[in-house]
Amino acid sequence: MPHQQGGAYPVPFAPTDFRFAHQVFATGGLQVGLGERTTFNAAVVIPIAGPRGFNIGATFGLNYFY
């Protein structure tokens, strides 16, 4: 059973409606070379606009080039 808002059911979207939440993030980070074939990167992510599922986030990556 769908969730009621204010005692009434929400109006469903038409099949032709294309909707999504706009989100904007600010990301800053750095990338460090580890030898000739490997890099490590890390970044901090902060949501600026739109629905915010978190206050601050982080990403990490390790790349190996073969």
Prediction pTM value: 0.61
Helices and strands of the chain, counted as H and E runs: 0, 3
| Cα dihedral 39/40/46/48 (nearest 10) | 10
pLDDT score of 15: 65
Q: Which residue has the higher pLDDT, 19 or 31?
A: 31
Is 39 part of any domain?
yes
Is 11 part of any domain?
no
The pLDDT-based confidence of 22 (bands split at 50, 70, 90) is confident
Calculate the average pLDDT of the chain: 83
pLDDT score of 13: 62
Q: How far is 8 from 3, CA to CA, in rounded Å?
A: 9
Q: Which domain holds residue 30?
A: 25-64
Is 18 part of any domain?
no
Is 6 part of any domain?
no
The pLDDT-based confidence of 64 (bands split at 50, 70, 90) is very high
Is 30 part of any domain?
yes
CB proximity list for 53: less than 8 A, separation 6 or greater: 47
Task: Report whether 41 contacts 31 (CB < 8 A).
Answer: yes
Is 2 part of any domain?
no
